[in-house]
């Protein structure tokens, strides 16, 4: 069985999507439609902007989503199962036919704007813990003052924590004291997948509620529980919970393999998920499509 996975925020890079635009009429049509839907030229920023211009949440998320769904559409993929890392879950839903490209882009743009507002209201950050014990990381997050939680279970050797700036710094120091190899601050706009994103919930809930969802053509393995979903109602609820819940990526990949995934293809910019899949399931075939 063929599994397709879609990257999230952090996969962006200057020039992203330009090759698709130059080589495909369908891609050019989709990029033009995106500029119109968003009300600004996302393509100019993707093709000509520098890394700083691409880093803002309200630019990054539509850009990564757009690159991924255009790459999928131009290759006419036929997945047996899909999953996406955080933002990438929206790309996966489009690829599986649960969301239209247009509705997916509108949701992503609104989600990004709502998260940006939450970041400004509740400043925070994230840090990657390398080679730390999961139980130790959880304990340290509970022990320090302030809000800090495990946010991304990327693979056995990398767990990302998220929360208030001082709490994250304190947790990093404590986790390193207790044996982690490294604790690396991430260049992100805020504390994603933590309680600090709660202000974005109401706005996203309203948007998800008014957006039509169809039953996907194949199972969508969602971040909040790492399980396959085909029910539109469940998919809606899980998308909303994802805002403040951890991304269970390690278990997602393991569940996809257990359910028959023989190969994984990362669709979109970058190679981050290819690296993670190799660490989680070394025996799996993994390729990229960008």
User: Which residues are known catalytic residues?
Assistant: 86, 193
- Give dist(CA 250, CA 210) in Å, integer: 32
Task: Tell me if residue 189 falls in helix, strand or coil.
Answer: coil
How many other CB atoms sit within 10 Å of the CB of residue 262?
A: 12
- In the numeric block, the tokens 């200057």 are attached to 14
Nearest one of 206, 226, 180, 237 to 84, comparing CA atoms: 226
Residue 263 dihedral angles phi and psi, to the nearest 5°:
-145, 150
- Give dist(CA 267, CA 88) in Å, integer: 9
**2 Cβ neighbours under 8 A, 6+ residues apart:** 78, 79, 80, 81, 261, 262, 263, 265
How many other CB atoms sit within 10 Å of the CB of residue 76?
A: 7
- Give dist(CA 228, CA 26) in Å, integer: 30
- Give dist(CA 136, CA 289) in Å, integer: 37
- Give dist(CA 273, CA 266) in Å, integer: 7
Nearest one of 114, 108, 117, 116 to 211, comparing CA atoms: 108
Task: Tell me if residue 261 falls in helix, strand or coil.
Answer: coil
How many other CB atoms sit within 10 Å of the CB of residue 87?
A: 27
- Give dist(CA 131, CA 155) in Å, integer: 10
């Amino acid at each position: 069985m063929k599994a397709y996975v879609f990257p999230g925020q952090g996969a962006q890079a200057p020039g992203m999507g330009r090759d698709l635009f130059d080589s495909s009429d369908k891609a050019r049509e989709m990029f033009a439609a995106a500029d119109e839907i968003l009300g600004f030229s996302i393509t100019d920023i993707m093709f000509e902007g520098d890394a700083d211009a691409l880093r803002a949440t309200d630019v990054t998320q539509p850009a990564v989503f757009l690159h991924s769904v255009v790459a999928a559409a131009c290759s006419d993929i036929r997945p047996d199962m899909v999953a996406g890392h955080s933002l990438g879950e929206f790309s996966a839903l489009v690829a599986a036919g649960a969301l239209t490209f247009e509705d997916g882009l509108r949701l992503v743009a609104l989600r990004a704007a709502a998260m940006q507002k939450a970041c400004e209201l509740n400043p925070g950050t994230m840090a990657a813990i390398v080679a730390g014990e999961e139980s130790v990381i959880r304990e340290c997050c509970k022990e320090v003052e302030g809000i800090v939680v495990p946010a991304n279970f990327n693979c056995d050797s990398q767990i990302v924590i998220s929360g208030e700036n001082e709490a994250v710094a304190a947790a990093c120091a404590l986790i390193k004291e207790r044996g982690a190899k490294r604790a690396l601050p991430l260049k992100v706009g805020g504390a994603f997948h933590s309680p600090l994103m709660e202000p974005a919930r109401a706005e996203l809930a309203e948007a998800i509620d008014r957006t039509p969802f169809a039953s996907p053509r194949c199972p969508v393995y969602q971040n909040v529980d790492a399980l396959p979903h085909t029910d539109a109602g469940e998919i809606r609820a899980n998308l909303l919970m994802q805002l403040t819940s951890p991304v269970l990526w390690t278990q997602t990949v393991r569940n996809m393999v257990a359910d028959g995934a023989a190969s994984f293809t990362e669709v979109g910019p970058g190679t981050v998920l290819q690296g993670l899949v190799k660490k989680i399931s070394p025996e799996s075939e993994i390729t990229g499509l960008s």
